[in-house]
Amino acid sequence: MTIVTTDGSRKAPDVVDVVALGESMVTFLPTVPGRLADVPSFERAIGGAESNVACVLAAAGHSARWVSRVGADGFGDHLVETIGAYGVDVSSVRRDAARPTGVYFRTAGDRASDAHEVAYYRAGSAASAMTVDTVDLDAVRAGRVLHLSGITAALSGPCLDLLRELTAPRPGRPLVSFDVNHRPGLWRDAAGVRVLLELARGADIVFVGDDEAREAWGLHGARAVREALPEPQIVVVKHGRGGATALGKDTDGQGEDATGTAAFVPALNVDVVAAVGAGDAFAAGFLSATLRGLPVRDRLRHGHLMAAAALTVPGDLATPPARDHADRLAALDDTAWGTLRLGPGWTEAAPRAEEEVPTP
């Protein structure tokens, strides 16, 4: 955060690898499967797309800052303390005495199934009161990468104004990463899909699922998404269990990537424990590799590895693999990558050179 010294001058905030701005909520996870009406008890966790990315990056050895607003309540205390425990700088999180911290409850089932239920209690939350005046913009911009998502834009008009300010072109702004995160239930009208397209076009790195692109914009295929988003340096289109495609900017005017940043990497074979948190973890892995200057294929592979870590634990957040372990797996040849299978506990397993590649 920006510090005012004893002589009244302002000290610039420390520059970190990644700043993530957005709402985090206290999440209540069921102790047994079933309808919310039938679940007798819940365990407390945290959930928030942007704070998830910050936590994973901090756990992976990067400096990360989370910027948001929470209520002056116990749930706000829990969020700040828990996210801070991952090594994330939470000094720029502001407390709101007039608004509560958001919470939500969900069932244990896969989010993609019809039986999955989520009950949000976030209307009027402290985070929805984020504006250009109620967040420390100096702290927000003091990062090599600024990570945002479309969820924040849907929380309120002032939140949307804030994201427009942060994605506006200006000299010296950080590299802006934007995860579309289309959540139709959060938007009050059909204008949301146009807003998400506008914000994505203002970013430098964009993450979007091909299912989101079809639902929101009627776009089919990675190339169609890239053509609809000509401005970003790189667009990453996620194909779920199929893999992910990254496309650099078209610099020759012929629809071809002339930057050497076009790649498709298939997803890993994973013994899934819970299909939650994978998208945020993928973004964190991709951004980690981007910060390290790795080639685009390896950025996608690190994204898949971080997603595999999230998929093999019950909650949204998982311990990432050690960097040297992830680097060794990311360097596998295509055949070995295609036969690799990861299950619960794989991130704690000691790498075993060539023998660490099991076949199904």
Catalytic residues: 280
Q: Which residues of 20-58 are buried (b: 16+ CB within 10 A; e: fewer)?
A: bbbbbbbbbbbeeeeeeeebeeeeebbbbbbbbbbbbbb
Q: Which two tokens stand for residue 192?
A: 């949301």
Cα–Cα nearest to 257, from 225, 283, 234: 234
> Does the CA dihedral 60-62-67-73 come out positive or negative?
positive
**What are the E-state strand segments in 5-129?**
10-11, 16-21, 25-30, 42-47, 64-67, 69-71, 94-96, 103-106, 118-121
C-alpha to C-alpha distance for 5 and 9, rounded to whole angstroms: 5
Query: How far, in Å, are 14, 25, 37, 298, 329 from residue 257 at the CA level?
Result: 36, 39, 51, 18, 27
Helix (H, G, I), strand (E, B) or coil at 192: helix
> What distances in angstroms separate CA 40 from CA 28, 113, 183, 265, one per listed residue?
12, 21, 28, 42
Q: Report the alpha-carbon distance of residue 205 to residue 16 in Å, rounded.
A: 18
Residue whose tokens read 């295509």:
334
Encoded tokens for 36: 């919310």
CA 95 to CA 8: how far, in whole Å? Answer: 23
What are residue 19's DSSP bridge partners?
A: 65, 146
CB 50 within 8 A of CB 25: no
